[in-house]
Amino acid sequence: MEFKRFLMDGPVEIIPRRFGDARGYFFESYSYRVFAENGISTEFVQDNQSVSQRGVLRGLHFQKPPYAQAKLVRVAAGRALDIAVDIRKNSPTYGQHIACELDAEKNNMFFIPEGFAHGFAALTDNTIFMYKCSHYYNPAAEGGLLWNDPALGINWELTEPILSPKDIILPKLQELDSGF
């Protein structure tokens, strides 16, 4: 596996080695040992999956401490633009984001540590989005950040995103009390 670091401390793109022949292909999508050897020793306790049509935008979401979640995300079908926004108040990159295009043909993954709001936009129909979480879902700990806050400067690569009613009313960065 290749672990690609960004200028921002925390998020990592992971590109697995893929072995293919006339029958198809195989790749190892997760190994605690390999991840730990590369600085990611997060233990995951819950797996989630969603299917989205092109134009669906989900996020930006997080869970507040002590239920904060790190995530390991990938797409099993289609493509998605994945976004991680640093919401750690004392971080030099507070309010900045990393964008990572996830592509089922590349089998790439994106690790998002605790202290980041997370969201994605489906770039193709029937995008199957899969993610591992380091903590169980807790509705009382839900937090979010408005997807189109100008302070974030995110180019979602969509002209008319399809959003949930909940995601339309999330706070802007200047109003955010994330707990991090």
CA atoms 100, 104, 106, 109: torsion sign:
positive
Residue 117 region by backbone torsions, left for phi larger than 0, else alpha for psi between -120 and 50, else beta: beta
Give the active site residue among 97, 118, 131, 135: 131
Question: Can 61 be counted among the known catalytic residues?
Answer: yes
Give the active site residue among 25, 61, 135, 136: 61
Query: Where in the sequence numbering do the catalytic residues fall?
Result: 61, 131
